[in-house]
Amino acid sequence: MRGMALVSAPPTCDVILALDVPSRAEAEAFLDRIGGDLRWVKIGLQMFVSEGPDIIDAIAGRGHRVFLDLKLHDIPNTVASAIRSLKGRPCDLLTLHAGGGAEMMRQAVAAAHEINPQLNLLAVTVLTSFDEAGLAETGVVGGAATQVERLAALALQTGVPGIVCSPQELPALRKKFGSGPILVTPGVRPAGSEAGDQKRIMTPREAAVAGSSFIVVGRPLLQAKDPRVALAAIRAEMAGSC
């Protein structure tokens, strides 16, 4: 089974396409447009619910590595069982919510090692659509940065090897936890792009310099007139930054 070995230092920063489209047909049409130079594809909840788990095999079968972004959050046994149900699927990265707690994450780590020791779990800390006011509405005090560090520490203590965070939290996380954790950052927008519903954003170069392992980019590629050119431009911006 394909997988990415746990890392002791962040890899060269790379781009993950957030393939947030409604159907497999649209997904494959877009992948044809962007070409084979794209290494990583994120399958989100919309695509997974629409097409089912076979979409993992379809994307991987085209030569891409799969980041399955389901943000699992449930009682520990349910999350562990969901992960075990992915046995045999070519999935390299998988998200769960750190807010599910230590026991949920410990059981998730055990389940991931059971089905594939190289499957890397990523703990989602604070969604990039949240700002300080939004967090306060949910009862979280201390702001996004404090909450991200709190949840990141909890996740790493349970054996989860990676964190999903806003690029703005990257410097603090690298300072506190070093080069070991995989840090995956959505909320990245090339200079001049619209922010959309993302609140805590950076440019690709800023995120790379700050220590991101992978940047996740959706609409700036999906809406590009020529996605191959757009991907090359993002990589050029990042070049020499990691």
Write out the two tokens for 15: 């781009």
Determine the pLDDT at residue 92. Answer: 96
Residue 141: per-residue pLDDT:
80
pLDDT at residue 20, rounded to an integer: 93
Measured from the Cβ of residue 212, the count of other Cβ atoms closer than 10 Å reads 28
Average pLDDT, the chain: 88
Catalytic annotation, pick one of 42, 71, 87, 199: 71
Can you give the pLDDT at residue 241? 53
Q: Specify the length of the chain in residues.
A: 242
Give, in order, the Cα–Cα distances in Å from 50 to each of 28, 96, 110, 179: 14, 20, 28, 37
Closest-CA residue to 53 (of 30, 82, 16, 15)? 82
How do residues 111-163 score in pLDDT, each as one tens digit? Answer: 999 999 889 999 999 887 877 888 888 888 888 889 999 999 999 999 999 99
- CA torsion sign for 70, 75, 81, 83 is positive
Q: Which of 202, 158, 152, 201 is nearest to 177 (CA)?
A: 152
Query: 174 φ, ψ to 5°?
Result: -65, -40
**Cα distance between residue 19 and residue 41, in whole Å:** 6
Interval 169-196: pLDDT, tens = 899 999 999 999 999 998 787 765 554 5
- Please state the domain extents for the chain: 14-238
Highest mean pLDDT among 78-92, 123-137, 194-208: 78-92
Specify the residue for token string 């055990």.
110
**The listed CATH number (3.30.200.20, 3.20.20.70, 3.30.1390.20, 3.40.50.980) that belongs to domain 14-238:** 3.20.20.70
Concerning whether 71 is annotated as a catalytic residue, the answer is yes
Q: Which residue has the higher pLDDT, 72 or 169?
A: 72
Residue 182 backbone phi and psi in degrees, to 5: -75, 125
